[in-house]
A = this chain, B = another copy of it.
């Protein structure tokens, strides 16, 4: 499996007042929802505004430093981080659940903006912002090209993004982040012949997708919408850092 690459850069407003909490073992965790809008020009030449709300957390000492700044809803911040996959079993239904959130390495306050937008849910988002994802991983399955009723090609791709690090005792640790990526139109058609296991480099934006599960519950996922992709040669990226 290719050594993964996993970077996220966001600039947005705090949708609500952020929170500092502590894990049972005493690790500080700063949690915030960062919100902005991507302004995307569609096939018809019209600009659409795509709001996004992403859960961001930062752990350890940086959590306490950023907490000391007393940030409030509406304050604008930049986030440098990575996509973080986690899964668990739902206590009620026993079903497996999973989510992708942003684990920040760094959060900094941006000068105040006049572009904040009050949203329908009582929150705030920045009427603009930055939303850039760079990931490199291996395809978890052969992708299947589909078409919308309007005739747009769309390809849903699963990426296994590998994270490797050394723990305090010097042992090699490994975790896989399972990231869903959506490719549209030319990108979808160009990538349709990729196979399970192929390494793929993706840049795009992080988006929310709302859907309804089989029990009729409203659910949310975080996916990457690709703006550019490049297939790596097979066997690339197997070197260790």
Contact = CB atoms under 8 A, between A and B. Distances in A.
Interface of A: 2-3, 5, 7, 9, 11, 62, 65, 76, 78, 80, 105-106, 108-111, 130, 132, 134, 136, 199, 201, 203, 228, 230-233, 236-237, 239, 241
B236 A108 contact: yes
A120 to B, nearest CB: 26
Contacts of A108: 2, 136, 199, 201, 232, 236-237
A110 B233 contact: yes
A111 B80 contact: no
A60 to B, nearest CB: 10
Given A110-B232, A130-B230, 15 more contacts: A9-B134, A11-B201, A62-B239, A65-B239, A76-B230, A106-B241, A108-B236, A108-B237, A109-B236, A110-B201, A110-B230, A130-B203, A130-B228, A132-B132, A132-B203
B7 A7 contact: yes
Given A203-B130, A203-B132, A109 B233 contact: yes
Nearest to A110: B230
A85 B78 CA distance: 25
A232 B5 contact: no
